[in-house]
């Protein structure tokens, strides 16, 4: 039986300030929990309503559906909830392309971008301090476990770009067509906020502006940032 203070702790991890205070984050769903258990992430506790799912995991605990619902941040809870320790950030590796996000706020967008980085083999993702927290439960849900294979670093990206020694490409509506741009083997790709794009401070540090040309009806204002990331990463890997 799960005691009330455990339920209170897990519920509190829906909030960023509590995740920071406790050094813990919570994920829901069999696949994501399995991915995290198989990774370098350190497990705090796994709670499951099905004793056959995670019975071999050290620290696992069988709970009732009622208790699982009390812990969950979802309207329809999964059969498993995992609580893991937030790891210390690693140094950014510049051996390959690095993706930088300037103030991306939507959890679904960040989760999808993390998954795209994993798909295209981009191991380094740098986020501004105002970008949504990667341990937000909605972000984690959208990554489908890809967060275990992408190094995420939150930093002041103006300082980060200013100190970098590789070309910095920024995604802009008025940039040069990415289909006609010869891209190097390594560099930094910057994508901006959903509504405002790349900030002026960061724009000043961009060395090349690229765009995804529009072929259809001109009434469409712009692409979703995650969709744009998919197209641009595909071009990076196409060579």
In a domain, 136, yes or no: yes
Same domain? For 115 and 156 the reply is yes
Same domain? For 108 and 35 the reply is no
Same domain? For 74 and 111 the reply is no
In a domain, 93, yes or no: no
Q: What is the CATH number of the domain that holds 150?
A: 3.40.1280.10
Domain boundary among 18, 53, 85: 85
What confidence score (pLDDT) does residue 67 get?
A: 87
Domain boundary among 85, 114, 130: 85
Helices (H), the chain: 4-12, 16-22, 30-37, 65-71, 107-119, 137-143, 157-162, 200-203, 225-238
> For residues 200 and 146, what is the distance between their CA atoms, to the nearest angstrom?
31
What confidence score (pLDDT) does residue 193 get?
A: 96
What confidence score (pLDDT) does residue 222 get?
A: 81
The domain in which residue 44 lies consists of 4-85
Same domain? For 102 and 141 the reply is yes
Q: What is the CATH number of the domain that holds 17?
A: 3.30.1330.30
In a domain, 20, yes or no: yes
Among candidate residues 164, 146, 24, 29, the one with its CA nearest the CA of residue 92: 164
Find all residues with CB under 8 Å of 87, minimum gap 6, and list them: 40, 41, 42
Same domain? For 115 and 67 the reply is no
Domain boundary among 55, 85, 115: 85
In a domain, 91, yes or no: no
Same domain? For 128 and 216 the reply is yes
Same domain? For 10 and 39 the reply is yes
Beta strand pairing call for 151-154 and 124-127? parallel
Same domain? For 113 and 73 the reply is no
In a domain, 26, yes or no: yes
Same domain? For 79 and 106 the reply is no
Same domain? For 137 and 40 the reply is no
In a domain, 92, yes or no: no
Among candidate residues 86, 138, 94, 147, the one with its CA nearest the CA of residue 116: 147
In a domain, 179, yes or no: yes
What confidence score (pLDDT) does residue 76 get?
A: 77
Domain count along the chain: 2
For residue 118, the tally of other CB atoms under 10 A from its CB is 19
Same domain? For 103 and 15 the reply is no
What confidence score (pLDDT) does residue 11 get?
A: 93
> For residues 80 and 72, what is the distance between their CA atoms, to the nearest angstrom?
9
Tens of each residue's pLDDT in the chain, 239 residues: 567 888 999 999 999 999 999 999 999 988 899 899 999 999 999 998 876 666 556 667 888 888 888 888 887 777 889 999 999 989 999 999 999 999 999 999 999 999 999 999 999 999 999 999 999 999 999 999 999 999 999 999 999 999 999 999 999 999 999 999 999 999 999 999 999 999 999 999 999 999 999 987 776 678 999 999 999 999 999 97
Angle at 190 between CA 187 and CA 191, to 5 degrees: 150
In a domain, 90, yes or no: no
E-state strands within 63-167: 80-85, 98-101, 124-127, 151-154
Largest CA distance in the chain: 61
Residue 172: both structure tokens together: 């802009």
What confidence score (pLDDT) does residue 78 get?
A: 77
What predicted TM-score, i.e. pTM, was given to this entire model?
0.93
What confidence score (pLDDT) does residue 184 get?
A: 94
For residue 196, the tally of other CB atoms under 10 A from its CB is 10
Residue 206: both structure tokens together: 């961009």
Same domain? For 119 and 185 the reply is yes
């Amino acid at each position: 039986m799960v005691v009330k203070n455990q339920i209170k702790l897990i519920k509190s991890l829906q909030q960023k300030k509590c995740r920071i205070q406790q050094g813990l984050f919570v994920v829901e769903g069999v696949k994501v929990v399995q991915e995290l258990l198989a990774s370098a992430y350190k497990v705090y506790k796994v709670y499951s309503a099905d004793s056959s799912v995670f019975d071999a995991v050290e620290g696992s605990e069988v709970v009732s559906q009622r208790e699982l619902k009390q812990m969950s941040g979802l309207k329809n809870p999964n059969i498993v909830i995992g609580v893991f320790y937030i790891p210390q950030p690693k140094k950014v590796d510049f051996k390959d392309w690095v993706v930088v996000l300037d103030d991306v706020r939507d959890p679904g967008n960040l989760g999808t971008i993390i998954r795209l980085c994993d798909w295209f083999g981009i191991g380094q993702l740098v986020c501004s301090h105002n970008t949504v927290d990667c341990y937000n439960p909605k972000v984690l849900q959208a990554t489908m476990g890809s967060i275990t294979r992408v190094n995420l670093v939150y930093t002041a990206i103006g300082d980060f770009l200013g100190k970098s020694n590789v070309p910095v490409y920024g995604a802009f509506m008025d940039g040069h067509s990415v289909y006609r741009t010869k891209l190097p083997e390594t560099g930094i790709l910057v994508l901006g906020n959903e509504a405002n794009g790349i900030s002026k401070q960061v724009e000043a540090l961009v060395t090349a502006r690229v765009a995804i040309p529009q072929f259809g009806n001109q009434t469409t204002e712009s692409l979703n940032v995650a969709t744009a990331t998919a197209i641009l990463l595909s071009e990076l890997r196409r060579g």
